[in-house]
Structure 1
Amino acid sequence: MVTRDPRIDAYIAKSAEFARPILEHLRAAVHAACPEVEETLKWSSPHFTYRARLLCGMAAFKQHVAFGFWLGKLVAATGKDDEAMGQFGCITRIADLPSKKNLTSLVRKAMVLNEAGVTSPSRTKAAKPRPPAEVPADLATALVKNRKARATLDAFSNSNRREYIEWIGEAKRDATRAQRLAQTIEWLTEGKPRNWKYMNC
């Protein structure tokens, strides 16, 4: 029997009009692929659990929906992880998602991993501390001109610093890099970490 959490009904009802059919589609697809799934609200957004472990989750924002599996790349390595939460980038319509058949396969793959007791890769290894991230020349130059941004970056943990530095470094085009650099300075000036948008969802 399909069990639905009324809090998720309310979440979907309050979401932007474009997001509602996407959220309903995802919800139905997860239930169809995993009849034993249970719904819950975690970090203020809908999540699905299977055998007492998180399976996947979804969230609606002003201009996009995000969907992802708890075990991330172990389930779906799409290369879109840096575009939004989850593994499918910024979803603005149902067509942005994998086909129903592929989505079903991914949910079932996640189920198998849960059944096997697989945990998040980041939790299975004792993480070695990474060396401090090296600030690229163009960011260093921009920081010289903006003391507030520099102070924010200096006060950040190594992981928060690295998120910005790697985001800038991953840009494939000069125009994209320049855009990310400008966005970095703006957000640092406001005291924001790289993924601030997702912290209060």
Structure 2
Amino acid sequence: MPARDPRIDAYIDRAQPFAQPILTHVRGLVHETCPDVEETIKWGMPTFVHAGGLLCGMAAFKQHASFGFWKHGLVMGEDGERNGMGSFGRLVSIEDLPPKRTLMALIRKAVRLNEHGVRTAAAPRRARPPLAVPADLQQALRAVPAAARTFEAFSPSHRREYVEWVLEAKRAETRQRRIAQAVAWMTEGKPRNWKYVKG
């Protein structure tokens, strides 16, 4: 049986008195359900690892404790919405947790997910809305068709880099200088950060 991490013993000893039995209970159930689980500290909190992946973790705060599964949505199901921290909300006593049999069944489910290499889906990246092109930059681009064509052909992120660079100028002279430089670079087909692009 893997040794228990003494840092977690110390963590439980430092926790508020109400939290100590909660953390001890949860830790015991995790070990009882998954005897070869490994203990560690991640993000300053006791964490349990199994089959090469994070399984679950627990934490103690001033007025509550928490326990949660790394793959919360997969373990708790579609209706397993997080209520506060962890998978079971704010815990102030052992009674706030599901019964032992239920909790062990959930831990077993998390164990199987790790053993089968199931990963959680990455959160989709939200595209930032395009920035409005300031009138003075639009006017300068219209005066140089080659620069305007380059600007229109750029990806939204490349256009944003030029627009933000112009908008960040604090003084009018700096802004005009940046617009002139932007038009010159775009006439040559260069993105804003062309100096850093690996050729």
Other structure's SS at 2:107 match: helix
Are the equivalent residues in 2 in contact too, given 1:64–1:92 (CA < 8 A)? yes
The aligned residue for residue 40 of structure 2 is 40
Task: State the TM-score, normalizing by the size of structure 1.
Answer: 0.60
Are the equivalent residues in 1 in contact too, given 2:19–2:60 (CA < 8 A)? yes
Q: CA deviation digits over 1:42-90, x for unaligned, max 9?
A: 0000000001210000000001001100001110146451x32211000
The aligned residue for residue 23 of structure 1 is 23
The aligned residue for residue 89 of structure 1 is 89
Q: CA deviation digits over 1:105-163, x for unaligned, max 9?
A: 0111001100111112226xxx241677xxxxxxxxxxxxxxxxxxxxxxxxxxxxxxx
Are the equivalent residues in 1 in contact too, given 2:59–2:66 (CA < 8 A)? yes
- 1:55 partnered with 2:24: no
Separation (CA, whole Å) in 2 of partners of 1:79 and 1:112:
18
Give the AA of the match of 2:71.
Answer: L
The structure 1 segments of at least 4 consecutive aligned residues displaced by more than 3 Å after TM superposition are 77-80
Give the AA of the match of 1:95.
Answer: E
Structure 1: gaps of 5 or more residues: 133-201
The aligned residue for residue 12 of structure 1 is 12
Separation (CA, whole Å) in 2 of partners of 1:72 and 1:90:
15
- 1:121 partnered with 2:121: yes
The aligned residue for residue 150 of structure 1 is none
Structure 2: gaps of 5 or more residues: 130-199
How many residue pairs match? The answer is 128
Quote the sequence identity (%): 52
The 1:86–1:130 alpha-carbon spacing in structure 2 relative to 1, beyond 3 Å, is farther
The 1:21–1:75 alpha-carbon spacing in structure 2 relative to 1, beyond 3 Å, is same
Other structure's SS at 2:67 match: strand
Are the equivalent residues in 1 in contact too, given 2:73–2:81 (CA < 8 A)? no
Separation (CA, whole Å) in 2 of partners of 1:25 and 1:41:
18
Separation (CA, whole Å) in 2 of partners of 1:80 and 1:112:
21
Q: CA RMSD in A?
A: 1.7
- 1:2 Cα deviation (Å)? 4.5
Separation (CA, whole Å) in 1 of partners of 2:31 and 2:125:
38
